Amino acid sequence: MDSNREESKTIQITEKDVKNSWLLHYIVAEVGISYERLQALGLTVSLLPVLRKLYKTKSDIADAMRRHLVFFNTEAVFGSLINGIVISMEEQKARGEDINTEAITGIKTGLMGPLAGIGDSIDWATFKPIIFALAATLSAKGNPLGAFVLLVLPMIQIIIGRQLSAFGYRIGRDSVTELLSSGRIQQLITAAKTLGLYMMGALSSTYIAVTTPVKFVFGQGNAPFVLQKVLDSIAPGLIPLAIVFFIYWWLNHKNQNLAVVVLLLVAIALVGSFIGVLAPVNS
């Protein structure tokens, strides 16, 4: 193990490695996507060339892969900062620095939400409409350039993503070194976990959209008693919150069989919808 660590200290990750890793992530980020892990599989695949360069034993590579096969979801272009920072932290860890799994996971979880918001606003809500509108205008006039203008968007994305991933690697490398020397790594982990929990709560409320149409009428001529309005007056989103707590309780106290949980939720949704107790938000 000591010889492997000494060998890892001599390994130098280059910015070319970082940029190529992100480019692979750009291509495969949505491949193998699932509600359980979303982009985690694509991220892990893109990091594999770097991880194989940093770690020399199968067990170390397997441990690194497990670190990155947890839930991950962000906007791939501006989220490239995360790719660079994570590679920087993995490099420091491979060299024997005191960086644990929680630190790496916390950084990813804490940054994926804010960077997704920035990327969606700039990349998909600004660049894409402008470029696609220009392409549609040219195509409507019979100009064949309209078909090729669409390629401007991925070109811009690749340029931005490669540069931001390299920038993330540079600031990540310097930041990690400074944090380790100052002893503030635990504060960083706590802050990242807190932000990550906040973002996971926001994601949960977004993905789980359930209401109840149940209402009662007490006495003729009286306004109906709408259960959903009562729940919303207490705290909006109580039903999605209850579902999240139920899933957490089940996985924490019963078992880790996600297939059973999914089938149970589908059954509850079907029965609840059939008897008129549950309904999607947009219904």
Q: In the chain, what are the helix, strand and coil shares in percent, each to the nearest 5?
A: 70, 5, 25
Q: What is the pLDDT of residues 91-147, one digit of tens each?
A: 988 888 878 888 888 888 888 888 888 888 888 878 888 888 888 888 888 888 888
Q: What is the DSSP string of 22-43?
A: HHHHHHHTTTT--TTTBTHHHH
Q: How confident is the model at residue 24 (pLDDT cuts 50, 70, 90)?
A: very high
- The 3-state secondary structure of 63-96 reads HHHHHHCCCECCCCCCCHHHHHHHHHHHHHHHCC
Please give the residue that has the higher pLDDT: either 18 or 4.
18
- Residue 40 confidence class, pLDDT cut points 50, 70, 90: very high
pLDDT of 190 > 70? The answer is no
Question: 258, 250 in Cβ contact below 8 A?
Answer: no
Q: Residue 4, Cβ neighbours under 10 Å: how many? A: 14
Q: Does the pLDDT of residue 1 top 60, yes or no?
A: no
Q: Residue 27 — pLDDT band, cuts 50, 70, 90?
A: very high
Average model confidence (pLDDT) across the chain: 81
Q: What per-residue confidence (pLDDT) applies to 152?
A: 92
Number of H helices, E strands in the chain: 13, 4
Residue 195 or residue 126, greater confidence: 126
> Which residues does residue 216 pair with via DSSP β-bridges, in sequence order?
225
The predicted pLDDT at position 110 comes to 82
Residue 36 has pLDDT above 70, yes or no: yes
pLDDT value of residue 155: 94
Give the pLDDT confidence of 199-253 residue by residue, as tens digits. 666 666 666 778 888 877 776 767 777 787 888 788 777 888 888 888 878 877 7
More confident residue, 202 or 16: 16
Q: What is the pTM of this model?
A: 0.64
